[in-house]
Chains A and B, each alone.
Chain A
Amino acid sequence: MNPDAMTDNPVRSAIDDCLSGVLALPTLRHDILTKARGEITVKRKISLALVLAVVLIMAAVTALAVVTIQEVARHIAQTQQEEGYFVDWPLAQKTKLIKSLGDLGYIQQTDRMKRLMAGGMPEAEAHSTADQMMAAYTGQEVREVSFLSIMQVPMGPVATWTHEEKAWYSQLMKEVGEVTEGRTFYVEPSGPVDEAEAIAIARREVAKGYQVPESALDSYDMQVDFEIPEAHAPGDEQAWWHVRFSAPEGMGEEERLFILFPVYVHPETGVLMRTVEEMMAPPLHQRPTNSLYQAVDALHREAEQQGAFSFRIWPLELKARYTQEIRPRVQEILKSGDLSDLINAGQPDMEVIASASFLYGLPGEGDLPQAEAFDLAKGALSEHFGIDRSVFNRYSEEIVFFDVTDPERPLWKFLFNAGALKWNTLEGGLDNPLKDFSYKAELEARTGRVVKLEEFLFNHSGDLPHSLKMY
């Protein structure tokens, strides 16, 4: 218990005030003990019957509501396809949606809402009112209010949707004209291999690949979908069971087998799209097999065990080891002028060269902690390039280097890679130009002084000058 107990606790006051009618259960202790002894209490029996009755009633009521919610969903999907996220909708569409949600009881019919519906407000105020109402409804910033954030309020998080609900969602998106290429397309399950069997196959194969008992996967979170995968070839409509295991939050690096392991199981044959062994091995085809690459790939395998599939997101410790074990060999090859040991797929391997261009180490006493430096970096980039600071929180990767090329002046380097930007959370989505740019900040590790801020176009040319910007 915290000795500094609060005297002014608005949360406590609010909840106790609103729930003053929620009181202790007089038979709780008795019910627990009888349950613990394996007896079924009378209360439980009655509750079960009552539960079933309520479920039937709720299903009937819910079915009605779902039909109406589906109509609302179609309106949102169509408008989003035409106009973008909610914040950019014309006022008429915003009020139509809010009225629908109000009629369904999802938004409280306040005086403010009635004024909005009555149409007497100045346009700017009406937009602001509508935006605030939807932000409150979804619990998100208004710029992030979209189809999914709106629909997850009545339907729950996407991860909890049934296969049928996800299939409905995909079909709806297709009907309103959203491009399906490059996107996961959910469909209703079919085929002799059902969900339970797909899970059993996935568990067996992953456990075999990692040489652990299947029970080792019990502590991992699991999500199962029936889908045409995101990376499907145009015209390929084969759906697969997509079983993915993920390490729960808080599971330490030393105890987890992986952060995320996805498996695709064919619904007719039960065969995996890619075997576990293939997925665990680094892509060695066309890669050289000389001793340098053997050493590079060994480090990559170690990184992949920790869920880091690209050098840039390796932990600092592995980057430091790369500097110690690989960099000297690469530098020697470069100095000799004979690059044959660095040729990969017919060309000098820019990734290997670039990742061996700087010396990476670990921060020590006297160096700013990473979190603090990261914060300074975001602030500096935001101010210098005039970008809302919140944008720098919308990257799916945190790319950080501790550069000790000059040992007297170590640098924290932070890269915000355009390829990792969650552009669908930006205003305008794909149309927002921010999605094409990467940003980099370099700070003196000892002082926090910003020494370099860069903005550069994200491109795939793979030339060395561009590659070096990414390190």
Chain B
Amino acid sequence: METVQGPDMSREARLTVMVRQYEKDLLRMCCVYLRDITLAQDAVQDTFLKAYQAMASFRGEASEKTWLMTIAMNVCRDYRRSAWHRYVDRRVNLDSLPLPVSPPKAEHIDLTGQIMRLPRKHMEAVLLYYYQNLNIREIAQIMGVTPSAVSNRLVKARKLLGSALKGGERHEP
């Protein structure tokens, strides 16, 4: 559920609300995208910093979450392209991420690993649709493509993830 932002709320107050609302999911999504906790933490910090700096110019053309995810995706793409990323071990290895609170299920490890191995565009569509629970139109806005391109990527991703992705379908208006 989105928090309604009052027009008089200061930037700092808005930042506090945004961080409280989105930080954890954003951090986990960046971990999957970048396969590294330190990079993910930096990416989340950069995302909120950019959002904070751009808050004054945000006119509500999209939902706040869509706007924030657009920034996050751009940050993650930049990180993947950067020289630092060249030296990060890019093997899909969940052991390099913080220990889970309790041992995860084998099928969850399998699915998470498969998501990490998806081609970038398909992984973004999957993360935004299934993890961030955005709709096709919002994702199209974030990725800068048409809604049908998003649908096609999700169809392809489902094929690649195969039977690991049972259920989870929902009807888009």
Contacts and interface: CB of A to CB of B under 8 A. Distances in A.
A70 interface: no
Across chains A and B, which 8 residue pairs bring their CB atoms closest together, nearest first?
A250-B144, A11-B130, A21-B98, A14-B108, A14-B111, A17-B104, A20-B101, A17-B108
Contact of A10 (B87, B109, B164): B164
Interface in B22-36: 23-24, 27-29, 31-32
A19 interface: yes
Contacts of A12: 130-131, 133
Contacts of B41: 25
B92 to A, nearest CB: 9
Contacts of A59: 87
B22 to A, nearest CB: 10
Interface string A1-40: 1101110111111111111111111001101110110000
B102 interface: yes
A10 B168 contact: yes
B91 A154 contact: yes
B135 A11 contact: no
B144 A19 contact: no
Name the residue in A18, A32, A136, A371 with the highest tally of chain B Cβ atoms < 10 Å from its Cβ: A18
Interface in B149-173: 160, 164-168, 170-172
A160 B86 contact: yes
A156 interface: yes
Contact of A8 (B29, B48, B107, B168): B168
A22 B37 contact: yes
Contact of B135 (A2, A14, A251): A2
B82 to A, nearest CB: 9
12 contacts: A8-B167, A9-B133, A11-B115, A11-B127, A15-B112, A16-B28, A17-B100, A17-B108, A20-B101, A22-B31, A25-B45, A33-B52
Main secondary structure of the interface of A (DSSP, over half): helix
Given A10-B165, A154-B91, A249-B144, A28 B48 contact: yes
Contacts of A251: 144
Contact of B112 (A1, A5, A18): A18
Contacts of A15: 28-29, 32, 108, 112, 115, 131
Contacts of B88: 58
A29 B130 contact: no
B97 interface: yes
Interface string B10-46: 0010011001000110011101100001101100110
B16 A29 contact: yes
Contacts of B126: 11
Contacts of A315: none
B9 interface: no
Contact of A33 (B15, B97, B119, B166): B15
A105 interface: yes
A21 B97 CA distance: 8
Interface string B137-151: 000000111001000
A22 B28 contact: yes
Contact of B144 (A24, A31, A248): A248
Contacts of B99: 21
B160 A139 contact: yes
A456 interface: no
Contacts of A13: 108
A210 interface: no
B21 to A, nearest CB: 11
B68 interface: no
Contacts of B63: 1
B61 interface: no
A160 B120 CA distance: 13
B1 interface: yes
Given A18-B112, A250-B145, A139 B165 contact: no
Contact of A28 (B23, B114, B117): B23
Given A9-B130, A29-B19, A58-B88, A36 B24 contact: no
Interface in A96-155: 105-106, 136, 139, 153-154
A322 B129 CA distance: 42
Contacts of B62: none
Interface in B59-108: 63, 65, 80-81, 84-91, 93-94, 97-102, 104-105, 107-108
A20 B94 CA distance: 12
Name the residue in B45, B53, B98, B115 with the highest tally of chain A Cβ atoms < 10 Å from its Cβ: B45
A62 interface: yes
Nearest to A58: B87
Contacts of A31: 45
Contacts of A273: none
A55 interface: yes
Contacts of A5: 133
Given A17-B112, A25-B41, 15 more contacts: A4-B170, A6-B170, A10-B111, A15-B115, A16-B28, A17-B105, A21-B101, A22-B24, A23-B98, A31-B45, A36-B49, A36-B52, A154-B91, A162-B86, A249-B143
B91 A19 contact: no
Contacts of B172: 2
B2 interface: yes
